[in-house]
Amino acid sequence: MKRLAAFIGFFLLFLLANRFLPEIIDPYYLHLFTLSCINVILAVSLNLINGTTGQFSLGHAGFMAVGGYTSASLTFYLGPKIIATLDFLPAILAKNFVFLFALLGGGLSAAFLGLLVGIPSLRLRGDYLAIVTLGMGEIVRVLILNVEAIGGARGFSDIPAYTNLFWIISLTALTIAAVASLTASSHGRAFLSVREDEIAAEAMGVNTTYYKVIAFVIGAFFAGMAGCLFGHYLQLLHPNSFTFLKSFEIIIMIIVGGLGSIFGAVVAAVILTLLPEALRYLGPVKDWRMVIYSLALIILMITRPQGLFGNWTPDFRRWWPFRKPQPVA
Amino acid sequence: MQEFLQQLVNGVSWGSIYALIALGYTMVYGVLQLINFAHGDVFMLGAFFGFYFSRWTKIAQEPTLFGFFATLLFAMAACALVGVIIERAAYKPLRERPRLTALITAIGVSLLLENGGQLLFGVDPKFFPSLISETRLYESANLVISNLPVIILVVSLALMLLLRFIVMKTTIGKAMRATAFNREAAALMGINTNNVISFTFLLGSALAGAGGILVALTYPKIDPLMGLLPGLKAFVAAVLGGIGNIPGAVLGGMILGVSETMVAGYISSTLRDAIAFALLVVILLVKPTGLLGSRVGEKV
């Protein structure tokens, strides 16, 4: 009951935000906010694979691309037909229904690819897995380049602009909540045990194969939804947005934040989205911004290799005013 | 048949370049278990060092065979220096840290070289002077073998043989093999492992520099991002052959070069970039440690 109330409360809050925020905030800041949120979804979902489960995946951009392109083809080719059959609904509801359908389609297709990639991870470990996931991402990109129906090398343009603040905020919140509660559950312990010592975990009866694949599937699902948001926000998808450099970018976010820390992933995703923008204002040295960015990364790794937050996640529940008194351990 | 031979010649010459770059990846991985992502950018630097050297010494205006070798040697020496500086400045402080940290630093160094290169050399592609004038060695109805692929193949084979001699016959090579086998034990035996690791970077970077010059001979358009994809594919070649294994890197490079040109020639040139990775996935699924890699049992 309480949960349902909280859910409806958040739902209404996000709807209000969607209605009123664009009127009071500068569009440039809203643009940065949207990009930050998409990167937060990517970083948090990759953190489940790389941080919590300890599998080294370098192909997150590939999952994002599959999700983005699948959902864009759904809304572009199927969307008008679905809206036509839903003519008894108000137009805005029908549109958002189509977008929900596309989000799920994008997420599920990416999750299916995650399943396919997760299966070799049964046999490969460490650097070999890293290079196979990287290769998967590149294969996806080259295949997209060769399919004319989704734009090929020109990019997929004229995607309907369905992404709005409501979807951005609620999916970001959903991703963080889902990954956080999953990590805190007994399944989360199993993920952690795979990371810490696979052989010991197996000896304790953890089905390591299952958990490795599941981590890939869930991580890919959210990355696919991020791709869907990205495509329906920019209204254009281009294969060059999904090179391995994009995967590196997401990896850098979770490493800078502190591998395994969801809080760190969120903060680092926001910082690293805003940093190159902020460096634009440096005036004479603005040509140097990417050099500064890479130097900062090297220096950070040398001076603070555990990332900004290490494994630390603040206990937000401590600040919740209505919580029951906790027994003193 | 002749078309096939033509593709084979091109493929082998590409393959030998991949092999040169892959050797650097595999040697560094052997001693440090580090994927040195900056290696592809050292390869790019090799091409630019050669470009500026040949212009500065006026070799570019009247190309001679001697001038070509001078440029090659200069680029190799400069790249070796860059490799050692990268190792000392960025990787050495992280020697005892988790491997992931060093990996991210390597990505950082790679980004630094690319962005720094764009700043220093400019974003626009430059045209590498033709240091060797192209002549046809053999010509028939539809098979043309020019001197370039032959020179590329000969130079890279000579460098590989030299590398093999250094690794197998000299004291420092023995120290390298010992360090790759077990770094701590090697240090206990009185080997200065820090110097050995620097020497490994020196060798690998020099080979990458040579690769940069050789690529620029056939594809004279050079730009600061040219190392990205060849670097990645060379790494794929190293993994294909079994990373850490020197003959494996050469084998992987050759397989990759030949299959890429075959796919580009017979199927579609846009699929060229995917074949390397598809091949990799298939081979690793069948043999998870690469073609020549040996499986190391995990100690519990």
CB contact under 8 A, A142 and B276: no
Q: Write down the mean pLDDT value for chain B.
A: 88
Ramachandran quadrant class, B97 (left: phi over 0; alpha: psi -120 to 50; beta: rest): beta
What pLDDT sits at residue B298? 56
Q: Which residues of A touch B97 (CB under 8 A)?
A: 305
Of B119, B243, B284, the CB nearest to A288: B119
Of B161, B160, B138, B140, the closest CA to residue B149 belongs to: B138
Contact between B280 and A138 using a beta-carbon 8 Å cutoff: no
Residue that the structure tokens 């299959």 belong to: B259
Residue A204 within any structural domain of the chain: yes
The answer to whether residue B121 scores a pLDDT higher than 70 is yes
| Interface-testing mutation among A49, A136, A138, A272, with chain B (most B C-beta atoms within 10 A) | A138
Domain-located, residue A43: yes
B150: pLDDT strictly greater than 90 = no
**C-alpha span between A290 and B117 (Å, rounded):** 11
Alpha-carbon distance of A47 to A311, in angstroms, equals 12
Instruction: Identify the band that residue A31 occupies on the pLDDT scale cut at 50, 70 and 90.
Output: very high
A76, A158 contact by CB (below 8 A): yes
Does residue A272 fall inside a structural domain?
no
Range scoring the smallest mean pLDDT among A219-228, A281-290, B253-262: A281-290
Of B132-136, B212-216, B286-290, where does the model show the most confidence? B212-216
Provide the residue range defining the domain that includes A130: 33-242
CB contact under 8 A, A120 and B101: no
Q: Determine contact, residues B254/B239, Cβ cutoff 8 Å.
A: no
The answer, for A134 touching chain B at a CB cutoff of 8 Å, is: yes
Q: Is residue A188 part of a domain?
A: yes
A32-76 pLDDT, tens per residue?
A: 999 999 999 999 999 999 888 888 888 899 999 999 999 999 999
CA A30 to chain centre: 18
Report the C-alpha gap between B281 and A84 in whole angstroms. 43
Number of folded domains that form chain A:
1
* Per-residue CA distances from B13 to A125, B29, B87, B240 (Å): 32, 25, 30, 18
ipTM of the complex: 0.82
The pLDDT score that the predictor gives to residue A24 is 82
Model confidence over A98-122: pLDDT tens digits?
A: 899 999 999 999 999 999 888 877 7
A189 assigned to some structural domain: yes
Q: Which residues of A201-222 are buried (b: 16+ CB within 10 A; e: fewer)?
A: beeeebebeebbbbbbbbbbbb
Taking a C-beta distance cutoff of 8 angstroms, is the pair B71, B131 a contact? yes
More confident residue, A266 or A7: A266
In the three-class reduction of DSSP (H, G, I as helix; E, B as strand; rest coil), residue B145 is classed as strand
Record the tokens describing residue A95, joined without a space.
């549109």
Please report, for residues A12, A315, A324, the alpha-carbon distance to residue A320 in angstroms, rounded to integers and kept in the order given: 21, 10, 10
Residue A328, pLDDT score: 56
pLDDT at residue A282 tops 80: no
Instruction: Please give the Cα distance from B180 to B295 (Å, whole number).
Output: 15
Q: Provide the β-strand partners of residue A236.
A: A157
User: How far is residue A239's CA from residue A156's CA, in Å, rounded to a whole number?
Assistant: 9
Domain presence at residue A20: no
